[in-house]
């Protein structure tokens, strides 16, 4: 039997209710006809399932707005899901509401590095206080032990100690990002979620952070869910990747294989769009065509249909489901490529 | 050389902090010509954003400009009064900020924020502005733009906020665009679309672009010229092709070696030894890279040659890499 995964996410969905459009009278008529469900819903995360093993690094990639931040916020228990389950080491987390989760003992096991470091750092905290805060609250450290731990963590993240007395606005973008990372790793969570952690980092600091993540994984068995637009970084760091398109996972498999032998046409296009120093910008592939709306999408139409070079009639008749080939490389496409022969 | 849209000469900036004076910029010299795109690269904390803020006149109150000028047309932006500067900003110079979500007004709908700029700076009538704002959202690749125009920033994803800010920056038809990491939160396909829009604008209107980035691959692809900063100094500036073919400053070479490519492994990537020097030190060395440099010589303690702001090449190094390494 396979060992139990650290994180097991099943059939998770998040829908945002939008303000109805049209005149008040038209809205009233709609309400009377269909009941309260008539308000449009944006399907940010739609029936998503995946697992993360202990010590495993899973990458999450996909177009801007496809629902990556929403998905990781759900997993970090910062927002509540509409449906689905999230189990951490066998324990169901969705029973407790997000706003109560902050005070549960599980909080220390999942930590998150935010996409915009400025958002997560209290502007009235110095860098030192920002890193010390979770150590005080969740690990009960104080005094010299606290100072030592903060300084050790800052150094590990490549943050010079002379910056610790500064406030967030006195730091550069990349320095602030490192405070956000230090804050999250200081309490040594079992699962660390990183939402675009390296976007604000220059290449040299990025290498420091990536090597640090590798080291923490080796030494502490930490697991990561890593959101990034930088496919080169994902390939370097991740064991497995999830490719998302408009709220759904369309491809998943070992990182190396997904990038070398993509099965889904969207993944293929994503890889072809990578900048390449040996190729002029004008030759970079751009996805053309109509992007489907995430608002009340047709449940029986593949979301990629308007932009897909392979689309045919059946793509509008049935939603393709994720199907794995023999090497565990899955794609949700009626015309998925076979992938790498195993 | 085409006439410069912006010429920055001898710009020095300091910050007062609890721990002492931080010398964030020292005698920074560069220019950008009309229609030209330059990329400013360099590691985190090297002074890229501070340079942009100084030009925009939006430095932190604790900052002091200790020398220099920033000439836009007939105007020295560092000596202009606040009123004139406020008019120039937005109309002549627009900036895309590094942290999109915090730079937008959190309690105003994004469509209204774009319309505001159109009304103030682009001679658009109040009745036409909302429709024009929706069009701009569509241009930056936002689907369902009419609905999105009514959203507040928190209802949009990180990359969408970034694109809203790009729409705001382009709304006024600026002659100079400063884009601080404009595409870091964007996937590669959206990134290509955004960079195309900026390039088209530059070509059509002669807009000059200063593009601040960590992404050397993107800089190589998009910029005519690259300006490399390190610890508040400009260390090298050259046309893109030359710079990548044969970097001459040891720091530039190190940056290129640290960039992951499609085939590199984590263990092959080189970090740059040491960190940025502490910018509070009373006596910073002449070359702020010397402490980390493998090519350092005795003579490196001597003052560096002054860089000419109007030249298209600059090199601040006593012992650069040889010129024809690539040949
Ligand atoms: N208000 C401030 N007070 C003190 N120091 C500051 C202030 N603002 C910036 N600095 C310092 O000035 C230096 C340059 O900062 P700047 O924001 O220009 O860096 P950057 O090159 O844009 O880096 P990044 O790529 O990380 O955004 C940094 O060392 C930073 O800590
Ligand atoms: N509070 C909210 N109310 C309404 N819609 C929301 C809200 N938060 C997010 N959304 C919508 O959910 C969708 C997914 O957003 P999300 O932030 O998860 O995208 P993302 O994949 O992280 O994108 P990016 O790469 O640009 O950060 C978007 O269409 C966004 O507008
Ligand atoms: Mg996001
Ligand atoms: Mg910056």
Give, for A323, the enclosing helix (H) or strand (E). Answer: strand A323-324
B149 bridge partner residues = none
> Do you know the residue count of chain B?
327
Most confident of A172-176, A194-198, A317-321: A317-321
Contact B45 A295 (CB under 8 A): no
A50 CB-near residues (< 8 Å, 6+ apart)? A9, A58, A242, A249, A252
Best of A64, A255, A274 to substitute, by most chain B Cβ atoms within 10 angstroms, is A64
pLDDT of residue A276 exceeding 70, the answer is: no
Percentage of residues of chain B with pLDDT beyond 90:
55
Q: Measured between alpha carbons, how far is B16 from B22 in angstroms, rounded to an integer?
A: 6
Q: Measured between alpha carbons, how far is A67 from A27 in angstroms, rounded to an integer?
A: 28
B193 to chain A: closest CA residue: A286
Mean pLDDT of all residues belonging to chain A: 87
Best residue among A13, A14, A16, A79 to mutate for probing ligand 2's pocket (most ligand atoms within 8 Å of CB) is: A16
Q: Measured between alpha carbons, how far is A22 from A20 in angstroms, rounded to an integer?
A: 7
Which one has a higher pLDDT value, A28 or B237? B237
CB neighbour class for B24 (10 Å; exposed up to 12, middle 13-18, buried from 19)? buried
Give, for B22, the enclosing helix (H) or strand (E). Answer: strand B20-33
CA B268: distance to chain centroid? 29
Q: A79 is written with which tokens?
A: 């927002």
Q: Where are the domains of chain A?
A: 7-238, 247-342
pLDDT of residue B286 exceeding 70, the answer is: yes
Give A234's contacts in chain B (Cβ within 8 Å). none
Q: A148 is written with which tokens?
A: 């030592």
Q: Cα(first)–Cα(last) distance of chain A, in Å?
A: 22
pLDDT of residue A219 exceeding 90, the answer is: no
Query: How many contacts does A have with B, using Cβ atoms within 8 A?
Result: 185
pLDDT of residue A29 exceeding 80, the answer is: no
Ligand 1: centre distance to CA A163 (Å): 11
Task: Please give the average per-residue pLDDT across B62-88, as a whole number.
Answer: 91
Q: Where are the alpha helices (DSSP H) in chain B?
A: 48-56, 82-91, 100-103, 110-121, 129-139, 145-148, 158-171, 188-205, 216-222, 240-245, 250-257
Map A73-135 to HEC letters: HHHCCCCCCCEEEEEECCEECCCCCHHHHCCCHHHHHEEEECCCHHHHCCCCCEHHHHHHHHH
Residue B187 CA: nearest ligand 2 atom is: 25
Q: Give me the CATH topology for the region A7-238.
A: Rossmann fold (3.40.50)
pLDDT of residue A51 exceeding 50, the answer is: yes
Nearest to A204 among B43, B143, B163 (CB): B43
The model's pLDDT over B224-283, given as tens digits with 9 standing for 90+, comes to 999 999 999 999 999 999 999 999 999 999 988 887 776 677 777 777 777 788 888 778
Instruction: Judge contact between B246 and B238, C-beta under 8 A.
Output: no
pLDDT of residue A264 exceeding 80, the answer is: yes
A306 interfacial to chain B (CB closer than 8 Å): no
Ligand 3: centre distance to CA B85 (Å): 34
Which one has a higher pLDDT value, B325 or B173? B173
DSSP string of B145-174, one letter each residue: HHHHTT--GGGS-HHHHHHHHHHHHHHT--
Task: Please give the average per-residue pLDDT across A293-298, as a whole number.
Answer: 89
pLDDT of residue A290 exceeding 90, the answer is: no
Q: What is the pTM of this model?
A: 0.87
- Long-range (24+ apart) CB contacts under 8 A made by B19-24 are B19/A162, B19/A165, B19/A166, B19/B280, B20/B280, B21/B280, B22/B279, B22/B280, B23/B232, B23/B279, B23/B280, B23/B284, B24/B50, B24/B63, B24/B232, B24/B279
pLDDT of residue A279 exceeding 70, the answer is: no
pLDDT of residue B327 exceeding 50, the answer is: no
pLDDT of residue A201 exceeding 80, the answer is: no
Most confident of A8-12, A25-29, B17-21: A8-12
pLDDT of residue A330 exceeding 60, the answer is: yes
Which position has the token pair 């030359």? B242
pLDDT band at B326 (very low <50, low <70, confident <90, very high): very low
Closest Cα in chain B, distance from residue A82 (Å): 17
Question: What's the CA angle centered on A198, arms A59 and B186, to 5 degrees?
Answer: 75
pLDDT band at B324 (very low <50, low <70, confident <90, very high): low
Task: Please give the average per-residue pLDDT across A254-274, as a whole number.
Answer: 90
pLDDT of residue A36 exceeding 60, the answer is: no
Which one has a higher pLDDT value, A31 or B87? B87
Residue B170: which of B136, B210, B146 has the closest Cα?
A: B136
Q: Measured between alpha carbons, how far is A189 from A181 in angstroms, rounded to an integer?
A: 12
Give B261's contacts in chain A (Cβ within 8 Å). 232
Give A199's contacts in chain B (Cβ within 8 Å). 181, 184-185
Which residues 250-309 on chain B approach chain A with CB closer than 8 angstroms? 254-255, 258-262, 264-266, 269-272, 275-276, 278, 280
Which position has the token pair 């967030």? A168
pLDDT of residue B61 exceeding 50, the answer is: yes
Q: Measured between alpha carbons, how far is A164 from A314 in angstroms, rounded to an integer?
A: 58
Ligand 2: centre distance to CA B148 (Å): 11
Instruction: Judge contact between A42 and A98, C-beta under 8 A.
Output: no
Mean pLDDT of all residues belonging to chain B: 89
Which residues 241-270 on chain A approach chain B with CB closer than 8 angstroms? 269-270
Contact A64 B187 (CB under 8 A): yes
């Amino acid at each position: 039997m396979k060992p139990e995964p650290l994180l097991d996410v099943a059939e998770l969905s998040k829908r945002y209710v939008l303000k109805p459009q049209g005149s008040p009278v038209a809205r009233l008529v709609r309400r009377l006809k269909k009941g309260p469900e008539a308000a449009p819903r944006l399907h940010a995360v739609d029936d998503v399932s995946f697992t993360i093993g202990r010590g495993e690094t899973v990458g999450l990639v996909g177009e801007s707005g496809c629902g990556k931040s929403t998905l990781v916020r759900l997993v970090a228990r910062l927002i509540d899901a509409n449906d689905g389950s999230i189990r951490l080491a066998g324990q169901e987390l969705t029973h407790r509401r997000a706003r109560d989760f902050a005070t549960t003992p599980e909080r220390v096991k999942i930590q998150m590095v935010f996409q915009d470091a400025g958002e997560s750092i209290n502007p009235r905290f110095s860098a030192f206080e920002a890193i010390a805060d979770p150590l005080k609250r969740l690990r009960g450290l104080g005094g010299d032990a606290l100072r030592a731990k903060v300084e050790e963590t800052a150094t590990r993240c490549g943050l010079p100690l002379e910056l610790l007395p500064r406030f967030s606005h006195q730091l550069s973008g990349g320095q602030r990002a490192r405070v956000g990372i230090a804050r999250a790793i200081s309490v040594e969570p079992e699962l660390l979620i990183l939402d675009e952690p390296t976007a604000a980092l220059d290449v040299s600091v990025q290498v420091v952070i990536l090597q640090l993540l590798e080291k923490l994984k080796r030494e502490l068995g930490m697991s990561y869910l890593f959101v990034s637009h930088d496919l080169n970084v994902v390939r370097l760091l991740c064991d497995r990747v999830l490719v998302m398109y408009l709220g759904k996972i369309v491809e998943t498999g070992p990182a190396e294989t997904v990038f070398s032998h993509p099965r889904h046409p969207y993944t293929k296009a994503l890889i072809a769009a990578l900048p390449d120093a040996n190729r002029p910008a004008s030759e970079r592939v751009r996805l053309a065509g109509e992007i489907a709306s995430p608002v009340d999408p047709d449940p029986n139409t593949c979301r990629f249909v308007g932009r897909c070079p392979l689309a045919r009639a059946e793509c509008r008749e049935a939603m393709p489901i994720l199907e794995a080939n023999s090497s565990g490389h899955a794609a949700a496409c009626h015309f998925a490529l076979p992938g790498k022969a195993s | 050389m085409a006439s410069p849209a912006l010429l920055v000469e001898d710009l020095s900036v300091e910050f007062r902090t609890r721990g002492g004076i931080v010398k964030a910029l020292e005698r920074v010299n560069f220019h950008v010509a009309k229609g030209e795109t330059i990329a400013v690269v360099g590691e985190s904390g090297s002074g890229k954003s501070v340079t942009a803020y100084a030009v925009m006149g939006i430095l932190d109150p604790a900052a002091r400009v200790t020398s220099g000028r920033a000439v836009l047309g007939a105007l020295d932006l560092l000596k202009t009064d606040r009123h004139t500067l406020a008019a120039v900003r937005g109309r002549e110079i627009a900036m895309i900020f590094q942290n999109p979500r915090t730079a937008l007004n959190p309690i105003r709908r994004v469509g209204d924020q774009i319309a505001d700029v159109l009304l103030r700076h682009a001679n658009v009538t109040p009745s036409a502005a909302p429709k024009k704002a929706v069009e701009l959202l569509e241009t930056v690749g936002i689907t369902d733009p009419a609905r999105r125009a009514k959203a507040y920033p928190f209802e949009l994803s990180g990359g969408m906020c970034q694109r809203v800010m790009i729409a705001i920056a382009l709304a006024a038809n600026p002659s100079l665009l400063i884009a601080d990491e404009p595409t870091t939160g964007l996937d590669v396909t959206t990134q290509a679309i955004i960079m195309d829009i900026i390039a088209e604008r530059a070509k059509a209107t002669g807009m000059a672009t200063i593009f601040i980035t960590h992404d050397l691959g993107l800089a190589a692809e998009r910029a005519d010229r690259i300006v490399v900063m390190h610890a508040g100094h400009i260390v090298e500036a050259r046309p893109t092709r030359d710079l990548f073919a044969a970097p001459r400053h040891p720091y530039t070479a190190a940056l290129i070696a640290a960039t992951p490519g499609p085939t590199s492994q984590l263990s092959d990537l080189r970090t740059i030894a040491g960190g940025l020097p502490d910018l509070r030190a009373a006596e910073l060395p002449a070359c702020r890279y010397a402490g980390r440099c493998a090519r350092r010589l005795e003579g490196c303690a001597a003052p560096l040659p002054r860089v000419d702001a109007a030249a298209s090449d600059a090199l601040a190094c006593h012992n650069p890499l040889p010129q024809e390494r690539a040949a």
